[in-house]
């Protein structure tokens, strides 16, 4: 958890001023019982009204100073904690952007959302708590101890017996609660995952009338979270009464022993009253500190989860960002040299085996195969979404891992199977990868993707605002915008991963025709479930169970690839 304190460095002044103001407030508070003891001993007992009249304004002044100091502490503590939280959130988000898909798959999006929101909130609240309440309680404990000792060292022996008891008790409970809080956050991850899946797939849920099932699934993870929370809460609930017993026992002991000392004239009544106030303040602050330790143990669980992401090795892509001598993509010649790949690194379970082919600049390669054959996996190795497990992927004879990632991402344009759009205008979405694109370039890309026509029919044309993930467009329209977004980059290698599945056959044909014109010097990889999407390719690769089983033109494959022939026959007239 301490490693996260580096995020406070920038705000050190606020982080120092907050506890200093709190110290001032506590000093003023600690003076009050002393003033009261003077009023009782010299004012009331001796009937000296002048003493009371002199002390009252000093008490008021001390209260006023305490008030201002307390408010200042809150302001500085809030500045420090909010800025800390914002910076931490920013760095965590940046880290997430740099992580490989393999790492992101491992965490899961639900867990990442909880870490970015709930976990950071926990630590942000802890910073505020430490700078205000924790500082206050610590100062009160130290100050009350000093004041109590200055009043009666003999009576203070009670405190020396009670404080180690309280500390031992707190350490034991904290050791129990940290793992419980960690479990709680993990269960919160599950709740978020179910919620996210449900919201992103709400149409499927409704279409299949599965709301009851989804409610049950949510109910299950919600109950799991509640049970973990209750378990932790039970320990915390035990904490307060047990500490109160120790507290009350100490007050009774102080009263009993203080009374005896008072009878022996070793302690005045006013001093005994002041001592009792100090001991009560001290014990309440220790009680408060105990409760805060629970918050700290909860924040510790959150800090571990945040550090787990921050300490995850970023893609090997990142170090090369600083390497000035990385190659550039000039032609776009693509080579797969005996490439094998497994998602979990175990080649026994490889989803791609010994993939070997070359795609020349200007060539269009079609890739076909049944569902799960490994087509999307194959193309995801080109921009290094995943690292190959064996073999090498080369662009212009250079292994892909030697390229600067920015060069790789701008040189390899990919239109994914699921068209993902962002909220914003159509123009924003098309020029997502090239924000400085000219109006003419945007229009040309949209025309090539057969999107210009439907865009112009919209009331606000290119300025039409899209809902979240382009919810106000049809599937085919979304796909065409995704294609335009990639074409605008004029990449040397274009990958279309089954991205025209929702586009009608005629438009699909028009898109391929314009691709041939505007991308004629680029290497084009087209994955298609429809034979019509790939039949005009220069060569077509047939992928079966992660292996290339045939390569050839449409005509050649109809002759010697059984699978290709079957696919073509089954789609005839479709």
Ligand X SMILES: Nc1ncnc2c1ncn2[C@@H]1O[C@H](COP(=O)(O)OP(=O)(O)OP(=O)(O)O)[C@@H](O)[C@H]1O
What residues make contact with ligand X under the rule CB under 6 A? 105, 343, 351, 369, 371-377, 417
Q: For residue 550, what is the enclosing H or E element?
A: strand 547-552
Instruction: Report the nearest approach of ligand X to the CB of residue 297 (Å).
Output: 35
Of 251 and 563, which has the nearer Cβ to ligand X?
563
Q: Are 387 and 100 in contact (CB under 8 A)?
A: yes
Residue matched to tokens 């962002």: 422
Dump strand ranges (E) for 347-498. 352-359, 364-368, 390-395, 398-399, 412-415, 424-425, 465-466, 493-497
Of 352 and 445, which has the nearer Cβ to ligand X?
352
For β-strands 523-527 and 364-368, DSSP reports them as parallel
Of 332 and 369, which has the nearer Cβ to ligand X?
369
Of 373 and 481, which has the nearer Cβ to ligand X?
373
Of 483 and 542, which has the nearer Cβ to ligand X?
542
Q: Are 218 and 195 in contact (CB under 8 A)?
A: yes
Q: CA 70 to CA 64: how far, in whole Å? A: 10
Of 270 and 369, which has the nearer Cβ to ligand X?
369
Of 55 and 501, which has the nearer Cβ to ligand X?
501
Instruction: Report the nearest approach of ligand X to the CB of residue 441 (Å).
Output: 31
Instruction: Report the nearest approach of ligand X to the CB of residue 497 (Å).
Output: 7
Residue (of 417, 528, 422) closest to 467 by Cα position: 422
Instruction: Report the nearest approach of ligand X to the CB of residue 494 (Å).
Output: 17
Of 355 and 483, which has the nearer Cβ to ligand X?
355
Q: CA 340 to CA 359: how far, in whole Å? A: 18
- Residues 58-86, buried b or exposed e (16+ Cβ, 10 A)? ebeebeeebeebbebbbebbbbbbebbbe
Instruction: Report the nearest approach of ligand X to the CB of residue 503 (Å).
Output: 16
Of 19 and 476, which has the nearer Cβ to ligand X?
476
Of 86 and 101, which has the nearer Cβ to ligand X?
101
Question: Phi, psi (5° rounding) for residue 208?
Answer: -95, 10
Instruction: Report the nearest approach of ligand X to the CB of residue 526 (Å).
Output: 13
- Residues 145-159, buried b or exposed e (16+ Cβ, 10 A)? bebbbebbeebbebb
- DSSP characters over 336-367: EEEEEE-TTS-GGG-SEEEEEEEE-TT-EEEE
Instruction: Report the nearest approach of ligand X to the CB of residue 228 (Å).
Output: 28
Partners of 358 in beta bridges: 335
Instruction: Report the nearest approach of ligand X to the CB of residue 467 (Å).
Output: 26
Instruction: Report the nearest approach of ligand X to the CB of residue 530 (Å).
Output: 11
Both tokens of residue 28?
A: 């003023």
Q: For residue 527, what is the enclosing H or E element?
A: strand 523-527
Residue matched to tokens 């080369």: 394
Residue matched to tokens 């195969």: 369
Q: Which long-range contacts (CB under 8 A, 24 or more apart) does 258-263 make?
A: 258/152, 258/155, 261/152, 261/154, 261/155
Q: CA 299 to CA 85: how far, in whole Å? A: 13
For β-strands 412-415 and 424-425, DSSP reports them as unpaired
Of 279 and 373, which has the nearer Cβ to ligand X?
373
Instruction: Report the nearest approach of ligand X to the CB of residue 367 (Å).
Output: 8
Instruction: Report the nearest approach of ligand X to the CB of residue 349 (Å).
Output: 9
């Amino acid at each position: 958890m301490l490693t996260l304190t580096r995020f406070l460095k920038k705000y050190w002044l606020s982080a120092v001023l907050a506890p200093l103001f709190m110290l001032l407030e506590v000093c003023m508070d600690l003076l009050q019982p002393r003033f009261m003891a003077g009023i009782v001993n010299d004012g009331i007992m001796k009937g000296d009204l002048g003493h009371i009249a002199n002390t009252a304004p000093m008490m008021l002044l001390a209260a006023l100073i305490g008030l201002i100091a307390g408010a200042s502490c809150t302001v500085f503590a809030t500045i420090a904690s909010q800025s800390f939280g914002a910076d931490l959130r920013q760095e965590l988000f940046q880290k997430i952007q740099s992580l490989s898909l393999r790492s992101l798959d491992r965490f899961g999006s639900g867990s990442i959302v909880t870490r970015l929101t709930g976990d950071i909130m926990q630590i942000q609240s802890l910073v505020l708590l430490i700078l205000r309440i924790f500082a206050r309680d610590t100062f009160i404990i130290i100050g009350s101890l000093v004041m109590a000792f200055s009043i009666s060292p003999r009576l203070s022996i009670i405190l020396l017996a009670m404080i180690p008891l309280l500390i031992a008790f707190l350490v034991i409970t904290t050791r129990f609660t940290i793992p419980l809080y960690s479990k709680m956050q993990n269960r919160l991850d599950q709740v978020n995952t179910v919620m996210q899946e449900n919201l992103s797939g709400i149409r499927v849920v409704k279409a299949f009338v599965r709301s009851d099932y989804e409610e049950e699934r949510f109910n299950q993870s919600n109950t799991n979270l509640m049970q973990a929370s209750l378990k932790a809460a039970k320990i915390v609930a035990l904490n307060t009464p047990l500490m109160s017993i120790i507290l009350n026992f100490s007050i009774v002991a102080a009263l009993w022993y203080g009374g005896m000392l008072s009878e022996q004239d070793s302690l005045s009544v006013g001093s005994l009253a002041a001592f009792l106030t100090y001991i009560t303040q001290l014990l309440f602050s220790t009680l408060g500190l105990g409760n805060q330790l629970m918050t700290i143990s909860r924040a510790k669980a959150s800090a571990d989860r945040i550090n787990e992401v921050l300490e995850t090795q970023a893609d090997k892509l990142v170090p090369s960002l600083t390497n000035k001598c990385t190659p550039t993509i000039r032609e776009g010649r693509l080579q797969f040299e005996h490439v094998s790949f497994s998602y979990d690194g175990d080649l026994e379970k490889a989803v791609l085996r010994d993939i070997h082919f070359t795609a020349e600049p200007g060539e269009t390669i079609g890739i076909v195969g049944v569902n799960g054959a490994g087509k999307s996996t194959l193309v995801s190795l080109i921009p290094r979404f995943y690292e190959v497990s064996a073999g090498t992927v080369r662009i212009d004879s250079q292994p892909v891992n030697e390229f600067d990632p920015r060069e790789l991402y701008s040189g390899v344009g990919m239109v994914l199977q699921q068209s993902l759009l962002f909220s914003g205008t159509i123009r924003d979405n098309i020029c997502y990868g090239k924000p400085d694109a000219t109006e003419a370039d945007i229009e040309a890309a949209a025309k090539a993707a057969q999107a210009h026509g439907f865009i112009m029919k919209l009331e606000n044309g290119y300025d039409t605002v899209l809902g979240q993930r382009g919810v106000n467009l049809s599937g085919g329209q979304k796909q065409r915008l995704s294609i335009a977004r990639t074409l605008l980059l004029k990449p040397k290698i274009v990958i279309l991963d089954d991205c025209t599945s929702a586009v009608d056959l005629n438009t699909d044909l028009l898109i391929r025709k314009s691709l041939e014109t505007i991308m004629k010097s680029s290497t084009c990889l087209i994955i298609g479930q429809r034979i019509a999407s790939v039949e005009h390719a220069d060569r077509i690769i047939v992928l079966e169970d992660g292996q290339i089983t045939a390569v050839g033109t449409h005509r050649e494959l109809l002759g010697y690839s059984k699978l290709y022939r079957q696919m073509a026959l089954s789609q005839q007239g479709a």
